Amino acid sequence: MGSMPNVPAASALPRRDQIRKEAARLFAARGFLGVGVDEIGKAVGISGPGLYRHFAGKDAMLADLLIGISERLLEEGRRRAGNGGGAPEALDALIGGHVEFALDDRDLITLHDRELLNLKEEDRRTVRRLQRGYLELWVDAVRGAYPALAEPAAEPVARAAVHAVFGLINSTPHSLGPNPAQDDRVAGLQRDGMAALLHSLAHGAFSAAAGAAAAGAGSGAGAASGTEAEAGADTEVDT
């Protein structure tokens, strides 16, 4: 095995990546269970069981996609968050990176939170561990950027806000056509315009979360309706 087998380079990207791309597109469009292996094969020019030369099975394809994207998110997130500057800059970089991801890899973002339950237990745990790490990155940045959220009692608020902002940003592939569309405008907004808007929305949401936490410090967050609740201060962190 001293020499590389061969370098196809014909289809620009190796078979394995080609399969990844088409599988992601199809899974995002019709769901993991709604797509047959024959269809994936046809999409890459081979037919049916030929895929088994490249992946152990249909499950393995989904696992590869979900673990891959989770790793990319976490790695890139770490890179951006730790790129000098303070917490506000880190948060801004995280938002920018996630928005870019959501706009450029819609299929994967869609899969990322839609198809987790179709993974075998072990892979699911792996993905969840990566997701948790990514979330921690955000929670730390947000709490660093907004002092009101740094209060111990505000930790659940920060966490929930991050979840919500994920939903906000990830909604894009959902509202737009599921297809990447490669380049041009979407829904009447230029891609960069949409990116800027999502960026603003995310900041606005976090800012509001900080305001709510400050206002309701010690009595829960009561914005409009003033029903007070006991401040749930106990937080359990597992693993």
Min CB(158)–its own copies separation in Å: 10
Binding residue for its own copies, selected from 13, 56, 181, 229, defined by CB under 8 A:
229
Binding residue for its own copies, selected from 11, 47, 179, 200, defined by CB under 8 A:
200
Answer whether 236's CB lies under 8 Å from 156's CB.
Answer: no
Min CB(57)–DNA separation in Å: 3
Give the footprint of DNA on residues 96-115 (CB under 7 A). Answer: none
Give the footprint of DNA on residues 182-201 (CB under 7 A). Answer: none
Q: Where do we find the tokens 């929670």?
A: 139
| CB of 38 or CB of 104, closer to DNA | 38
Binding residue for its own copies, selected from 14, 68, 88, 96, defined by CB under 8 A:
96
| CB of 10 or CB of 187, closer to DNA | 10
Q: Where do we find the tokens 């967050």?
A: 221
Binding residue for its own copies, selected from 8, 13, 30, 79, defined by CB under 8 A:
30
Min CB(55)–DNA separation in Å: 8
What, of DNA, its own copies, none, does residue 201 touch, CB below 5 to 8 Å by kind?
Answer: its own copies
Give the footprint of DNA on residues 17-76 (CB under 7 A). Answer: 33, 35-38, 41, 46-50, 52-54, 57-59
Answer whether 173's CB lies under 8 Å from 107's CB.
Answer: yes
| Positions that interact with DNA (CB under 7 A) | 3, 5-6, 15, 33, 35-38, 41, 46-50, 52-54, 57-59
